[in-house]
Structure 1
Amino acid sequence: MSHFITGVVVEICTPFDEKGEIDWQYLREMVRWHVSCGVSAFFVNGYAGECHELTFDEKLAVLKAVYEEVHDDAKIMACSFENDIRANKRLIDAYEETGMADCYCITAPPFFKYSQAALYDWAAELIDYAKRPVYIYNCVEQSVLFAPDTLAKLVENHPNLRGFKDASTNVVNFQQCVLRIDPENFDFLGGCDGFDGIMVLLGAVGCVSFMAVPYPREMVDIVNKGLAGDWKGCIEAQQKVLRIRNIVKKTPFNAGWNWAMRYGFGKETRSRMGEKQDWVPYEVKLELDELMRELGYEGQDIERTPLDDEMAGITDFR
């Protein structure tokens, strides 16, 4: 069995304007830019895309916009991260009616910690329901992670499960999964930008990456070198991205990533979560700008804002 998804799957943000409406022009231009940078697929309506902030109709509209810009240049993995089985089936049905997604991604239910037996039933029902390949997002922020034995049982009994994005941030957990499931016939994907390269070297065939939103070329470099067996080059490329990530992680999610778009893409964007969630401290902007200059990007003129003064010393988001 050949791999269905390989390379960098960019976990796109959903860009918003000052009024909180989706910035459709920005979205379309961003997608075209990502394609030009060599990404393999798009992760649409994920958590970094603020699916929790989008209406049902907006999710379909975002999918349509991405599809119209991608054409046949990359695949689309449409996410269904709804709160219950019925809502997920409704969204998957709507995705299917468009014919625009190549595959789907599901994750564990939110809020309450499921047993592994209940988690198995949840995932199995959705995997069997979907008419296209399904991927699982093992998300550390959810109430529960898929245990390696649970994942292996799902793979054995439900052939429509095609791959797995492991964002557990636990390399031992990932290796336990690879031990149980043939990586030649299953699409293991890295899910933590802090060590996606390591995961490729250990058996993944790509990654789902939020760092690829502002830094697609850098993430493609990591994965390509890892898949080529260039372990030294892969680690060097990973550490380059890690230096950037260490800085943007000093901001609220997704603020630093949205701000960093001004370097590669040429203009930053914002979330739908409010200006204080979008705030990037002045000192962090300076730190990022210094690193960007070192890495060959054009520097920016950074000025203090009134919000910098209002929020000075407040770092309760980390």
Structure 2
Amino acid sequence: MLTGSIVALVTPFTSQGNVDFAFLEALVNWHVEQGTDAIVAMGTTGESATMSHDEHVMVVSAITELAAGRIAVIAGNGSNSTSEAVHLTERMSHLPLAGFLNVNPYYNKPSQCGLMAHYRACCEASDLPQLLYNVPSRTGADLLPEQIAELATLPNIVGIKEATGDISRVAQLRELCGDDFILLSGDDPTGCDFMLQGGRGVISVTANVMPALMKRMVTAALAGEADTAHNYDQQMATIHAAMFVQANPIPVKWALSLMGKLQPHYRLPMTEPELAQQHHIEQTLKQAGLI
């Protein structure tokens, strides 16, 4: 349940800034229909950084209810504050989750000792499996393979979402952490090659707008069918690029609004894309046949 085509799900909002549960339900049902293997709820793409703890837990709980066992749900539980990460983990541990996605503590730049203590505290807060999440472009700190290998010795740490885009890390992590450690790509442009090198899935932004094609690409890559996987990936290449013309999730929410999947509302400090980027996203979706 922690492998395959996993969507980093957006959180729809109303014009008043509240969670739009009608659109959220439609998105969950769409991903079930399109064959997505799992949903990450309240990750970076879900705008977790701008949500209160009560809202965070409410959205994750709602997604598990909407999923109703039809699709696995992974909950973001990370924070730059260990006490907050532990609190979120404890509050969600009773939910029917496949596991947690725990981002490297951002801004603080903790020492190796601090990292171990942080993740140990999160592991002690729940028996559910936890995935590390390495995204130095957002956190300001890179979890190096040697650090990841040490963290992998902690109870419940079963894998990592690796979002550096460095394909060479697949072999390094496989050697250091063993075959059972789950390696997931968190970088859409390199996700296909990541899996062909030994990764076991993706946690994808692009899957928000092209879930069926992403599932086909992941299936082919995991089967070692390189030509087929690269063909599917090439069909998504312009979407991969368009989804990062500004900070995630600004472009993907704008794309989904053009597709009629939600309204283009964000939580400050996130705002809608600039006009030139709006036009670029629209043209890319048209060329891909999505609108």
* TM-score, normalized by the shorter chain, greater than 0.5: yes
Distance 1:206 1:264 in 2: 26
Q: Distance in 2 between matches of 1:284 and 1:14?
A: 21
1: CA distance, partners of 2:109 / 2:154: 23
Give the deviation of 1:57 after TM superposition.
1.0
* Cα distance change of structure 1 residues 59 and 269 upon mapping to structure 2, 3 Å threshold: same
Among 218, 226, 235, which residue is 2:230 paired with?
235
The one-letter code sitting in structure 2 at the alignment partner of 1:132 is L
Which position in structure 2 is the counterpart of 1:106?
102
1:254 matches 2:249: yes
Match of 2:273 in 1: 279
Match of 2:68 in 1: 71
Conserved 8 A contact 1:128-1:158 = no
Aligned pair partner of 1:62 in 54, 59, 62: 59
Residue 267 of structure 1, CA deviation:
4.6
2:170–2:199 Cα contact (<8 Å) kept: no
Contact 2:255–2:285 under 8 Å retained in 1: no
Distance of aligned partners of 1:160 and 1:251 in 2 relative to their CA distance in 1, 3 Å threshold: closer
Note if contact 1:167-1:191 (Cα within 8 Å) is conserved in structure 2. Answer: yes
- What is the aligned-residue RMSD (CA, Å)? 2.0
Following superposition, the deviation at residue 39 of structure 1 comes to 0.9
* Correspondence for 2:285: 292
Structure-2 change in CA distance of 1:178 and 1:265 (3 Å): farther
Letter in 2 for 1:194: P
1:265 shift after superposition:
5.4
CA distance in 2, matches of 1:128, 1:266: 38
The 1:198/1:161 distance shift into structure 2, 3 A limit, reads same
| Residue aligning to 2:122 | 126
Q: Which residue of 1 aligns with 2:144?
A: 147
What is the aligned counterpart of 2:196 among 187, 201, 212? 201
C-alpha deviations, 1:132-168, integer Å up to 9, x for none? 111111111213222211211222x324211111012
Stretches of structure 2 lacking an aligned partner (at least 5 in a row): none
The residue aligned with 1:212 is: 207
Q: Which has the larger radius of gyration?
A: 1
Change (3 A) 1:170 1:117: farther
Which residue of structure 2 lines up, in the alignment, with residue 163 of structure 1? 159
> Which residue identity does 1:227 align to in structure 2?
L
Q: 1:114 to 1:221 in 2, by over 3 A?
A: same
Q: What's 1:172 paired with?
A: 168
CA distance in 1, matches of 2:247, 2:271: 6
Q: 1:256 to 1:143 in 2, by over 3 A?
A: closer
Q: Distance in 1 between matches of 2:257 and 2:109?
A: 39
Question: What is the DSSP-based 3-state SS (H/G/I as helix, E as strand, rest coil) of the residue aligned with 2:267?
Answer: coil
Q: Which residue of 2 aligns with 1:33?
A: 30
SS of residue in 2 equivalent to 1:194: helix
Distance 1:132 1:251 in 2: 34
Change over 3 Å in CA distance of 1:91–1:145 after alignment to 2: same
Match of 1:186 in 2: 181
Q: Report the TM-score when normalising by structure 2.
A: 0.91
Aligned sequence identity (%): 22
Contact in 2 for aligned 1:252/1:277 (Cα 8 Å): no
Q: Match for residue 305 of structure 1?
A: none
Structure 1 residue 266 displacement after superposition: 4.5
- 1:30 and 1:265 in contact (8 A); partners too: no
- Look up the match of 2:220: 225
Whichever residue aligns with residue 70 of structure 2, its letter is: D
How far residue 231 of structure 1 moved from its aligned partner, in angstroms, is 0.5
- Cα deviation, 1:201-253, whole Å, max 9, x if unaligned, reads 11111111121112212221221110121101212222222211222322453
Show CA shifts across 1:89-118 (max 9, x none). Answer: 111111023x23221121221212222332
Aligned-partner SS, 1:188 = strand
Higher relative contact order (CA 8 A, sep 6+): 2
Aligned length: 290
TM-score normalised by length of structure 1: 0.84
1:212 alignment partner, SS class: helix
Question: Residue 292 and residue 83 in structure 1: after superposition, are their counterparts in 2 closer, same or farther (change >3 A)?
Answer: closer
